[in-house]
Amino acid sequence: MENKSMIEQIEAIAFDIDGTLYPSAAFYFRIAPYFLRHISFFANYNKVRNVLHRTAPLADFYGYQARLLEDFMPESKGKSRQMIQDIVYDGLVPYFAKTKPFRGTKEFFEFCKGRGLKIGILSDFPPEQKGDIFGLAPYCDVIMGSEAHGALKPSIYTFGQLSMKLGVPNEKILYVGNSVRADINGAKAAGMKTAYIQTGFASLFNKRPANADISFKSYRKLQDIMLK
Other CB atoms within 10 A of residue 93 CB: 14
Query: For the segment 139-163, what is each residue's pLDDT rounded down to a tens digit?
Result: 999 999 999 999 999 999 999 999 9
User: Which band of pLDDT confidence, cut at 50, 70 and 90, is reported for residue 2?
Assistant: low
- Tell me the HSE value of 218 on the side-chain side, using a 13 A CA sphere: 6
Domains and CATH numbers, the chain: 6-22+102-227 (3.40.50.1000), 27-96 (no CATH)
Burial class (CB in 10 A: 0-12, 13-18, 19+), 138: exposed
- Tell me the HSE value of 73 on the side-chain side, using a 13 A CA sphere: 23
DSSP 147: G
How high is the pLDDT of residue 1? 39
How high is the pLDDT of residue 86? 98
Query: For the segment 88-127, what is each residue's pLDDT rounded down to a tens digit?
Result: 999 999 999 989 999 999 999 999 999 999 999 999 999 9
The span from the CA of 203 to the CA of 197, in Å, is 8
